[in-house]
Structure 1
């Protein structure tokens, strides 16, 4: 049986074999090898296994295993980093010459909607869960991941949310109904507005906060949801709510800053992380695959050395700052040796911090400064600087620019760069090289929004392509 599926969310992943085999725009369904999606989650144990599988999907190279962290850095290259690698899809992003058939743009879209669909399937199957605490937890986890994926999608495939605007610019499709059958997959879903997508993200996160336990091991807790909501509010320039959420996490989550920034990345599930992708040595390993250590590292035979840290950026850390050349940045010894690299990703199997407490301090600092609370803002910034041995800022040195600079110094290479430039309306400065003069690239450029994948617009005629593609 062959049919054309209208969107990639139908690649349903339950941690079970659903027997779906893709061929271009078509999927062949083999009834002898498939599991009926309508009955696959028919017990409490199977729902629990699906929740574990939902988290496992986040370590895909198309999600937090690589692309949701790497792509926002590559698209904002200026005097910060440069791309030296040979992967054409990433080179297009770094040169801002992407087209609608870019493999990375398609991969992020497909993997995100697959994770969303799995979250929807879990929510749909909750009636079979008899333990009320587990039912609440599973729903909270599914809503958290559904919100997170919609948020990542709308930031990458749509123009920036404008505070005070009606935000009717096209966002991404909102998927809230599980896709179990060919007929359901054939329903064409248009793009919602940016306002509608953010509203759904916030609705899901508020629900997750109420449903999730305060502590949940290495999985999302109510404070993880609050931390992500703080990030969402900050992207909207809703500084009051962002500050309140961050403050709650700082005061009540029980999380503390790790002794060093390096230990956050070399350790596992440290006291600082609120969400961390669990990996092992087989995840995203090797120089032919796409993993963060693959692209960032240049240590002997480990890594491709694709991402170079530029000296102008490294110089901003200062001689005593452990985040700079005194510790966390290093000169590569492997592929493309002899230039600076980030020490945040140095082994293939390391865990990947996605949300950590330091970000909450930076959000609270920015919100406090914008509200005129300079004492809190200065204390929070210096708490981050003191942890790494950087010279504390004085009250006279405190400004919005110094707070935003501290965000870049602390959160460098973690997937924040493009999103911060967009929300602050900061154009990308490209320094002079050789005979090429310095230029400024407008942050509002259509080229800083990923294209809707050609595969999707080809099968879903309601999807409007982004300008410039």
Structure 2
């Protein structure tokens, strides 16, 4: 089920040679190397796969991949071996404590690699028209996928480094939006405003929709790459954050009604997550992990959330805060693997239960959008527009599939939708971003060993600092408040 692996090492080497900071810097001979790489059909396809490989690796990077659930309160730490002591994983300590540092940010690598991905996308965009070995339709397909990756990666940066739309006017900074690679003036570009950043993302996505064809340029399952349906799913999520509720509702409904994908049934829901090496059937976009010629995987989210034995397990398990949200009738309670692990408490080692998610035990792919999320986006957008009966219909589709009774009134409807996000999308790195987007407080109870377990909205610490190395290079950048 994984996409065919092309050798992308040359593209990656060029990008790392070119990019000694987050802003592209030319080096002698590098332009010639890129032209050589992109001068053949094989080289161009390698570059497209290389772009997707960078995206997959960056979104699976542990410090980023756990950020939404850890800082939102869905997960806690498991005991270390052999000490049995529960401690903060050192590499994410500062973001967990809401105390990240600009000079040594826990997500500095994520930030840098995001702009390398954007550079890879821009290189394809700038060179795809000069490819006589592709048809016009194939050129448009590559252009559309590169635009989508560029928009998606900028959106991830916006979620991490910019406040939500309701934050104070003085601090509504967005991100640097890079649309070209070689122009000198782009080297030290300032951050756009939050509103301008959203406009740039939406413009790229809408432009891509006019270019997609029915024939993917790469081999493998269509859900492994951006296509029209996954771009509309991304648009729905972006427009929800933008508070463009009519457009978010329209795009979410379009995906639900026209994608050809249906909600995974209640009977198959749990078993689908447990199916090895296969995504859940309702997947809209999943970044597949590369495999080599011997079938070995380059990595897996099971390294972050997996359990193999009492001497081999990952650093994170579900918090009781999350588990308490599933009632007895909720089939999603069966998505947790309970294991007794030796844990040091009061200088004594005792066995305590820890609950590992089944979502990534056998499936190494990186799910980005599922149809379930489109139902919840449609429900929230409709509720924001006071179309409560529509909101209830979409929300109840997810509740009923989970074995819960349908809601029949509008009492606390928006809160019920939020709780359904939390239950349905747990471990998919979205909770903290939803909390920030909705202007809620963070409350972490079970297993919290942070110096700051709670975070009240509004706060500067709902965003992370721009890495200081980038600020030093680009003096036009304004650092986030509090850093």
Compare 252-261 and 265-274 and name the one that shifted more.
Answer: 265-274
Instruction: Summarize the Cα distance change of 1:406–1:254 in structure 2 as closer, same or farther, 3 Å threshold.
Output: same
* 2:69 is the alignment partner of 1:73: yes
Instruction: Summarize the Cα distance change of 1:396–1:176 in structure 2 as closer, same or farther, 3 Å threshold.
Output: closer
Aligned length: 443
Q: Distance in 1 between matches of 2:36 and 2:273?
A: 41
C-alpha distance after superposition, 1:56-106 (max 9, x if no partner): 11221x3245454321222323xx332455532312211112111345321
Partner of 2:353: helix, strand, or coil?
coil
C-alpha distance after superposition, 1:97-136 (max 9, x if no partner): 2111345321111111111001000001112234011111
Does the CA-based 8 Å contact 1:258-1:272 persist in structure 2? Answer: yes
Aligned to 1:148: 152
Gaps of 5+ in 2: 1-7, 79-86, 217-221, 344-351
C-alpha distance after superposition, 1:437-456 (max 9, x if no partner): 99852132212211111221
Aligned to 1:371: 385
TM-score, normalization: structure 2?
0.81
Does the CA-based 8 Å contact 1:303-1:335 persist in structure 2? Answer: no
Q: 2:283 aligns with which of 273, 280, 299?
A: 273
TM-aligned CA deviation for residue 142 of structure 1: 0.3
Does the CA-based 8 Å contact 1:73-1:418 persist in structure 2? Answer: yes
Does the CA-based 8 Å contact 1:264-1:272 persist in structure 2? Answer: no
TM-aligned CA deviation for residue 416 of structure 1: 1.2
Instruction: Summarize the Cα distance change of 1:435–1:271 in structure 2 as closer, same or farther, 3 Å threshold.
Output: closer
Q: Distance in 1 between matches of 2:264 and 2:446?
A: 38
TM-aligned CA deviation for residue 35 of structure 1: 6.2
Q: 1:306 aligns with which of 306, 309, 315?
A: 315
Structure number with higher relative contact order (C-alpha < 8 Å, ≥ 6 residues apart) = 2
Q: Distance in 2 between matches of 1:19 and 1:361?
A: 38
C-alpha distance after superposition, 1:369-407 (max 9, x if no partner): 233333332222222122232333333667111111111
TM-aligned CA deviation for residue 46 of structure 1: 2.3
Aligned to 1:295: 304
Does the CA-based 8 Å contact 1:19-1:34 persist in structure 2? Answer: no
Does the CA-based 8 Å contact 1:105-1:451 persist in structure 2? Answer: no
Does the CA-based 8 Å contact 2:97-2:453 persist in structure 1? Answer: no
Q: Distance in 2 between matches of 1:323 and 1:330?
A: 11
Does the CA-based 8 Å contact 2:273-2:360 persist in structure 1? Answer: no
Does the CA-based 8 Å contact 1:330-1:341 persist in structure 2? Answer: yes
Instruction: Summarize the Cα distance change of 1:143–1:19 in structure 2 as closer, same or farther, 3 Å threshold.
Output: closer
* 2:254 is the alignment partner of 1:239: no
TM-score, normalization: structure 1?
0.83
Does the CA-based 8 Å contact 1:121-1:178 persist in structure 2? Answer: yes
- Give the RMSD, CA atoms, in angstroms: 3.5
Alignment of 1:7-46 (within 5 A): 15=11, 17-18=13-14, 20=16, 36-46=33-43
